[in-house]
Amino acid sequence: MTLKNIKIRLFRQFVVLIFFISLLSGCEEGDGTGVILAGIAVGAAVGLQDVITDDDDGESSTSTETEGEAEETTEPESSTETEGDDEEPIEELVPLEIKMLKYDGINDDLLTAGLGQTGLMDEAPAAVDLINPTAAEIRKATIVNQYQASQDMRISAGYGELYGSAVPTPFATPSNNGKVKGKEYIAYARGKKNVTMMVQLPDSFDPENPCIVAAPSPGSRGVYGAIGIAGEWGVKNHCAVAYTDKGTGNGVHDLNTNTVNLIDGTRATTAGNFKAEGTSEMDLAAHNSTYPFRIAQKHAHSQQNPEVHWGTNVLDAIAFAFEVLNMEDSFGQKGTLVSTFIPANTIVIASSVSSGGAASLRATEQDSEDLIDGVVVAAPMINPKPFSDGEGVTIEQGDKTFPYKKLDRKSLFDVLTYYNVFQPCANGNIEMLGRCTALKNKGWLSSSTRAEQIAEAQALLNNYGTLASSNTHNYEDYYAGFAYLYANAYGRFSVVKNLCGYSYAATIEDNPPSAKMLSDLADDFQSSNGMPPSSGTYLINNHGNNEEGINFRHSVDINGNLDGYLEGALCLRRLATGTTGVTINTGNPLTGMELRDYQLVQEGIKSVLAHGNLQGKPAIIVHGRDDAVAHVNFTSRLYYGLNNKENKNNKLVYIEVKNTGHFDNFNEDDNVPLHYYFSQAMDRMYDHLKNEVDLPESQVIPTLPTATNLEIRLPKIGSDEICPITFSKDVLTIPEC
C-alpha cells in the first residue's frame, strides 16, 4: 500500500471518529449508562500526530447516546476504493456500537461492582428475577465470580493483606475499600462478531503518566475474566485496562430454547455473542431431535479456532483503548486530528494468565505497530513451535533431564489428551479408580494391584515429560474438558459433530440429559468458565443410558467399571497421535473419517504455534512449578528456551515459583498464591519501563507454605533467597532450590 493510500485511510477513519466524538459532547450523565455508535476503527490512527489534508469524499453516519436500553442502528455497508490496478483497497470505516457505563465509585465501581474488597469474598448477589436478571445484576455477579475464580480469597493465604483491590502497591494507594470510580466501554471487535472488547477508564487515570494494561481473559472465560488479575493491577495503578474475551468467552447457545447470550450477558433468540450452526449433513433441528437438550459453547463450537486470532484480539483491544483515551469526552483535543495519547508516549503492558497470558505473548510476537512496550504473564497456555534445528534444548532440573529436540516437542493438546487417559488413575481418586482397571483390561497398564496401577500410571505421566508434583491433582474434569474443547476448536467442528461421542448438556447424577432450567441458563454468563463441566452444564457421553447420554464421570465400560468414558478419552487421544495407540509408535495408522479428523486437528494446532520472538521487548513469565494444566516443561520452560536459543535480542525473564500451580482458587494449605508474584512482576515491569530500573534475573523462588515468617514463606522476586535460572549451550538449568 502506498503512503498516500495509508494517509487517506487514516484520515477517513479519524475524520469520522472526530465527527462522532463531537456529537457526544454535552451529553448528560443521566443514569450513568449510554450507547455510543462511534466510528472507531480498531487498530487505526493510534499513531497519527499530524493533520492530513488529502481530499475525502466518503460518507459518514450519525451516532447517538441514549439512556437506558440501547437503540438499534443499522451500520452502513463497507466498501472499498482502489487507486490504480496495483493498489491495495482502502478500507472504509464501519462504526462500532459501543456501550458506555459510568460508575460513581460508591454504589458501583469498576473493580468490585460496588461491593468493596471484603464484599468480593461473599457469595455473588442474586438477581431479583432469577430467570430475567438485568444487565447490571449480571455484571455485579460476574465480577464477584470471576474474582473468586482467579484469586485465592482466603485471608490466611494473604487476601486483603498481600493482594486485593484495596491493597497498596509501590505505585498506587487505592481507596480503603478498593472501589474505583470511572467509565466502562464495551463493544464487539470490528468485523469479529464473536470477540468482545472492553476498556475500563478510571477517573484516576493520570494523563501525565499514561498507561494501558491489556487483560485478555484466561481460559474460556468472558470479557471480565481477567478483572481480578491484570485488571486489578491496572485500575489500581491508574491505567486504562483493555480487556478482550479473545473469541472464547462465555457464549452459550441452548439448542433446546434456541437462546444465546448478548454482549451484556442477557439472553435472547436473536444473533448475539455466539450462535451455533449445523452442517450440510445435519442441521440443528435434526440434531435436536436425536440429541435433545444439548448446549453449544462458543470456544468449542464457533468453528473458528479462536486461538489463531488471540494475538490480534489483544492488539485490537489495545488500539480500542487508545481510541477511547482520545475521545473528546476523555482526553481528546476538540477540533483537531492530533492524538493526545499514542504508543510513543504511553506505557503499554500486555499481561494476564493462562490462555490470556498466551494471547499476550502471541500479540507481542505479532506487534508490527509497536503498540506494546512490555509483557508480564503467568502460567501461559502457550504452544511453542518446533526448534529450527535438530538439537533443540535440554532442560535440567536437579538430577532429571528433559531433552526437547525438534521431533520431541509436544503440543499442549498432545500432553492434555495423554493426561486425560492416565491421570484419572494416577491421582488415586476413589471415584475414578475404575479407570485403572479399564486401562489394564485394554492393555495400557500391566500391573495387577490397584496401588501398582496408580504408581504405573504416574510413572507413565512423568516419563512423558511432566513433573511428579503435578501427578495427584483431582483435575480429571479439566483434562476431559480441555481435551474435548480444544479438539473441537482446532478441528473447527460443528456442535452436531458430537466428536468422539461427546456433547454438552445439563443432567443430574447418572440420569440422561434434561432441559437446563431457565434460571441456570440466565446464570451461565456470570458463573461459567466457558468450558464444561461448569455451572450446571456437563460433558456428556452420548452412548450412556442406552444412547440417551450420561455425565461422562458416571460412564461404565462393558465390564461394569466406572471408567469415566475411557473410549471417548482414547478417541480424543487418537486425534493427537494419528494412530489407534496412546503414543505415535503404538497401534495402527488411522483411516477414513478418523484420519481426516486427525488431520484437521493437527492443521489447527500448527496454525497457533508461537515462534518465541518477542521483538526485543522486555517480558516476564511467572509460572508455578506444580502446574498440572500448563505443565512447565511444555510451556514456559520450553518457550524460554526457544526465545533464548533462536533470538539474539531477547529480554525475557522466567520466574518459577515453588509450591503453587495453575488455579489459585484451588489452593490448599500447601500452596502459595501465584497472583502475589504476578503482581510483583507487574510492579517490576512498570518500574523498568517508567524509571529504567533493571528487570530481575530469571530465578526459582523457594516458597515455604508452612513458615509463619512472611519473608520465608513468600520470598519476594529478587530476594537473597532465590536461585538463578541459567541458559547456556542449549541447556536450560532449573535449580531445585
Summarize pLDDT for 1-18 with one digit per residue, the tens.
333 343 334 444 443 444
Angle at which helix 450-463 crosses helix 434-442, to 10 degrees, equals 70
Instruction: Give me the domain span that covers residue 599.
Output: 412-606
- Where residue 95 falls among pLDDT bands split at 50, 70, 90? low
How many Cβ atoms sit within 10 Å of the Cβ of residue 57? 6
Point out the catalytic residue in the list 354, 470, 636, 679.
354
Residues 510, 551: one domain?
yes
Judge contact between 622 and 361, C-beta under 8 A: no
Q: Which of 620, 628, 612 is nearest to 404 (CA)?
A: 612
In this prediction, residues 606-622 reach a mean pLDDT of 97
What pLDDT is stored for residue 406 in this prediction?
64
Of 548, 574, 606, the position where a domain reaches its end is: 606
Q: If you average pLDDT over residues 108-112, what whole number do you get?
A: 98
d(CA 257, CA 93): 36
* CA-to-CA separations, 699 to 150, 279, 355, 597, in angstroms, rounded: 24, 51, 23, 41
289 found inside a domain:
no
Taking CA atoms, 240 is separated from 234, 317, 617, in Å, by: 7, 11, 21
CA 298 from centre of chain: 13
Is residue 272 a part of any domain in this protein?
Answer: no
Residue range 355-400, pLDDT digits in tens: 999 999 999 999 999 999 999 999 999 999 999 888 899 999 999 9
Sign of the CA dihedral 477, 480, 485, 486? positive
Same domain for 673 and 569, yes or no, is no
* Residue whose grid cell is 484469586: 151
pLDDT band at 407 (very low <50, low <70, confident <90, very high): low
Does 544 score more than 50 pLDDT?
Answer: yes
- Which alpha helices (H) appear in 350-449, and where do they start and end? 354-366, 412-426, 434-442
Contacts (Cβ under 8 Å, ≥6 apart) of 511: 545, 550
Q: Cα angle vertex 147, ends 141, 153, to 5°?
A: 120
The answer to whether residue 328 sits within a structural domain is yes
Q: In the predicted model, is pLDDT for residue 220 greater than 90?
A: yes
The reply to whether 78 belongs to the active site is no
Would you say the pTM of this structure is higher than 0.85?
yes
Residues contacting residue 53 through CB under 8 Å, at least 6 positions apart:
none
Angle between helices 135-150 and 518-527 (to 10 degrees): 50
Q: What is the mean pLDDT of the chain?
A: 87
E strand spans, 409-524: 502-505
In a domain, 716, yes or no: yes
**Domain-terminating residue out of 606, 635, 665:** 606
pLDDT-based confidence at residue 24 (cuts at 50, 70, 90):
very low
d(CA 180, CA 115): 11
* Confidence at 36, pLDDT banded by 50, 70, 90: low
Is the bond into 125 cis (omega within 30 degrees of 0)?
Answer: no
Mean pLDDT calculated for residue range 200-211: 97
- Residue 261 bridge partners (DSSP): 267
**Cell numbers given for 600:** 484437521
- Asked, for residue 697, whether it belongs to a domain, the answer is yes
| Cα distance between residue 665 and residue 670, in whole Å | 13
On the 0-12 / 13-18 / 19+ scale of CB atoms within 10 A, 344 is: exposed
Question: Mean pLDDT across the stretch 166-176?
Answer: 92
Confidence class for position 667, pLDDT limits 50, 70, 90: confident
Instruction: Of 561, 596, 553, 562, give the one whose Cα is nearest residue 578.
Output: 596
Query: How many structural domains compose the chain?
Result: 3
Handedness of CA 263, 268, 270, 273 (dihedral sign): positive
366 and 499, same domain (yes or no)? no
Cα 475 to Cα 464: distance, rounded to the nearest angstrom: 18
Q: Are residues 532 and 625 in the same domain?
A: no
Average pLDDT over residues 177-187: 97
Same domain, 455 and 400: no
Statement to judge: residues 38 and 166 lie in one domain: yes
pLDDT digit string (tens) for 615-639?
999 999 999 999 999 999 999 999 9
In a domain, 536, yes or no: yes
Residues 602 and 623 in one domain: no
> Each residue of 694-734: pLDDT tens digit?
999 999 999 999 999 999 999 999 999 899 999 999 999 99
Rounded Cα gap, residues 458 and 428, in angstroms: 10
**Cell numbers at 202, concatenated:** 478510571
Q: Is residue 117 part of a domain?
A: yes
Helix (H) or strand (E) holding 593: helix 592-606
What is the distance, to the nearest Å, from the Cα of residue 609 to the centroid of all Cα atoms in its chain?
16
Cell of 84: 490504480
DSSP state of 376: E
Does 211 reside within a domain? yes
Q: Does residue 167 have a pLDDT over 60?
A: yes
The string of pLDDT tens digits covering residues 468-516 is 988 767 778 899 999 999 999 999 999 999 999 999 999 999 999 999 9
Cell numbers 500500500: residue? 1
Cα(452)–Cα(425) distance, integer angstroms:
11
Q: How many CB atoms lie within 10 A of CB 398?
A: 10
Please check whether residue 187 is in contact with residue 97, taking contact to mean a CB–CB distance below 8 angstroms: yes
**Pick from 347, 390, 52, 29: which is nearest to 211 by CA?**
347
* C-alpha cell of residue 339: 492524538
The pLDDT confidence band at residue 431, using thresholds 50, 70 and 90, is confident
Angle at 632 between CA 628 and CA 637, to 5 degrees: 175
Q: Are 707 and 713 in contact, with CB atoms under 8 Å apart?
A: yes
The average pLDDT across 323-327 equals 95
pLDDT band at 610 (very low <50, low <70, confident <90, very high): very high
Residues 587 and 643 in one domain: no
Do 399 and 362 sit in the same domain of this protein? no
Compute the distance between CA of residue 135 and CA of residue 548 in angstroms, rounded to an integer: 36
- 408 falls in which pLDDT band (50, 70, 90)? low
Phi, psi of 117 (to 5 degrees): -60, -45
Lowest mean pLDDT among 325-334, 418-427, 601-610: 325-334
For residues 622 and 580, membership in a common domain is answered with no
pLDDT of residue 154: 94
Q: How far apart are CA 114 and CA 101, in angstroms?
A: 14
**β-bridge partners, 267:** 261
Grid cell digits, residue 647: 533470538
The 10s digit of each residue's pLDDT in 651-665 is: 999 999 999 999 898
pLDDT at residue 92 above 90?
Answer: no
| Statement to judge: residues 527 and 497 lie in one domain | yes
Residue 649 shares a structural domain with residue 702:
yes
Vertex 260 angle, CA 254 and 262, to 5°: 160
Of 549, 572, 606, which closes a domain?
606
Query: Residue 407: which of 429, 385, 428 has the closest Cα?
Result: 385
Scored b (16 or more CB within 10 A) or e, 242-270 reads bbbbbbbbbbbbbbbeebbbbbbbbbeee
